[in-house]
Amino acid sequence: MKKYSEMTREELIFEKELLKKRYEEKKALGLKLDISRGKPCPEQLALSLPMLDLINSETENFKNENGFDIRNYGVVDGILECRRLFGEILDAPTENVIVTGNSSLNLFYDLIAHAMCQGVPGGNGPWCECKTRKLLCPAPGYDRHFAVGEYFGFELIPVKMNSDGPDMDEIEKLISDPDVKGIVCVPKYSNPQGISYSDEIVERFANLSPAALDFRIFWDNAYTVHHLDFEGEMDDIPSLLRLAEKNGKGDMVYMLGSTSKITFPTGGLAAVAASAANIADLKRMLSFQNIGPDKINQMRHVLFFKNLDGVLSHMKKQAEIIRPKFKTVLTVLKDELSKSGIAKWNTPKGGYFVSAELMEGTAKRTVALCKEAGLVITGAGAVYPYGKDPGDSILRIAPTFAPVSDLPDAMEIFCISAKLAAIEKLLG
């Protein structure tokens, strides 16, 4: 079979008829499929259920290791043993870790709100006083990061993503603008492309010299233990905080993480690792905001995992569940799309997504065709600031939540739709 770009008009029309027939057959099945959401599936959630048994009415001791009653007020920065656990997960010293809340997104939001209202160490006032504040957004990226920036009135500046991370030349140039207050990124198994930043990229992050003295890197390491094959290839990135501290630039970094996709989304924990000055600043903030995080839930997590090894062996079980789903998605993509030459996609070693780059100008149409045939996928443009994909070409596939039995149909619909959209485009 030829590439679409090499077909004659007649060949394209013929191909379109074939696809149209397949599309109508699928549509006639009246399926309701959804690969839009980066959610764990029930089987993944079930792995964490034993955690709920670990603290109960028979528990004899509710004191944590340094003597605080986990049922009562206090300990705004989280119990010591849980801070230690997150220190291992995020690769940061325990004293540089605060555990609070249930999602890194919420932490990101709260950090921005804090910077907006009170300012952060190194700066000269609340960010709200900078009317032309800007946030750098490597894109494609996480739509909800961009949404938070927009909600707080930042101008979102997209930064190109390469295969080893964002374009650092561009970032180094952009941060000479003192209105650029920060950058938000997912450095490992990135959402949606599954890219892990190279050592060189991380080192360049750790050595940025922004004009804004209160510039912050919001390093949302959401997928740090989310490998897909614990017996195969796994990515590893250095600790940005440790590297930046070596350069005397530790105050620039907030490393974020959570157990949202380790235990229970919304029922899990979140943590931030930061420099001593930032931790002191955040503890002060928390002393106003908070009466303390849910220490019972923190202790559940500590008892369940014990340490990083416990987390990794838990994540290995999750990988067993979701790897076949990723495999199915990638197999159908290859079978259906590789010959047509209309799409590229990544083969992630971890994280929650497969990102497909379709023919320019066909992503929106593909989403519409999918919808008509009973398949919900993330909206076109969602992975770009302001929802605007300049090429209208990137779509995000989330394989984890749907039953594996749904995925062949879902991906077939996806591929047929992408091909139809491409041919429509080529035929003009």
Q: Which stretch binds a copy of itself (CB under 8 A): 91-99, 100-108, 248-256, 373-381?
A: 100-108
Looking at residues 146 to 165 of the shown chain, list those that interact with a copy of itself (rule: CB under 8 A).
147-148, 151-153
Using the minimum distance from each CB to a copy of itself, give the nearer residue, 174 or 303: 303
Looking at residues 180 to 209 of the shown chain, list those that interact with a copy of itself (rule: CB under 8 A).
none
Q: Which stretch binds a copy of itself (CB under 8 A): 85-93, 124-132, 232-240, 355-363?
A: 124-132
* Nearest approach, Cβ of residue 116 and a copy of itself (Å): 5
Q: Which stretch binds a copy of itself (CB under 8 A): 111-119, 134-142, 245-253, 304-312?
A: 111-119
Using the minimum distance from each CB to a copy of itself, give the nearer residue, 113 or 404: 113
State the SS3 of the chain.
Answer: CCCHHHCCHHHHHHHHHHHHHHHHHHHHCCCCEECCCCCCCHHHHHCCHHHHHCCCCCCCCCECCCCCECCCCCCCCCCHHHHHHHHHHHCCCHHHEEECCCCHHHHHHHHHHHHHHCCCCCCCCCHHHCCCCEEEEEECCCHHHHHHHHHCCCEEEEEEEECCEECHHHHHHHCCCCCEEEEEECCCCCCCCCCCCCHHHHHHHHCCCCCCCCCEEEEECCCCCCECCCCCCCCCCCCHHHHHHHCCCHHHEEEEEECCCCCCCCCCCEEEEECHHHHHHHHHHHHHHCCCCCHHHHHHHHHHHCCHHHHHHHHHHHHHHHHHHHHHHHHHHHHHHCCCCCCEECCCCECCCEEEECCCCCHHHHHHHHHHCCEECCCCCCCCHHHCCCCCCEEEECCCCCCHHHHHHHHHHHHHHHHHHHHHHHHC
321 binds a copy of itself (CB under 8 A): no
Using the minimum distance from each CB to a copy of itself, give the nearer residue, 263 or 340: 263
317 binds a copy of itself (CB under 8 A): no
Total chain residues near a copy of itself (CB under 8 A): 56
- Cα angle at 270 between 269 and 273, to 5 degrees? 140
353 binds a copy of itself (CB under 8 A): no
* Nearest approach, Cβ of residue 185 and a copy of itself (Å): 18
Using the minimum distance from each CB to a copy of itself, give the nearer residue, 116 or 202: 116
* Burial class of residue 207 in the structure, from the number of CB atoms within 10 Å of its CB (0-12 exposed, 13-18 middle, 19+ buried): middle
294 binds a copy of itself (CB under 8 A): yes
* Burial class of residue 265 in the structure, from the number of CB atoms within 10 Å of its CB (0-12 exposed, 13-18 middle, 19+ buried): middle
Looking at residues 379 to 418 of the shown chain, list those that interact with a copy of itself (rule: CB under 8 A).
none
* Nearest approach, Cβ of residue 396 and a copy of itself (Å): 16
67 binds a copy of itself (CB under 8 A): no
Query: Given candidates 141, 292, 350, 399, which one binds a copy of itself under the rule CB under 8 A?
Result: 292
* Nearest approach, Cβ of residue 311 and a copy of itself (Å): 18
49 binds a copy of itself (CB under 8 A): yes
Query: Given candidates 70, 130, 402, 422, which one binds a copy of itself under the rule CB under 8 A?
Result: 70
137 binds a copy of itself (CB under 8 A): no
Query: Given candidates 92, 97, 99, 105, which one binds a copy of itself under the rule CB under 8 A?
Result: 105
425 binds a copy of itself (CB under 8 A): no
Residues contributing to the site for a copy of itself (CB under 8 A): 37, 39-40, 42, 45, 48-50, 52-53, 55-57, 59, 62, 69-74, 102-103, 105-106, 109-110, 113-114, 116-118, 126, 128-129, 144, 147-148, 151-153, 260, 264-267, 288-297
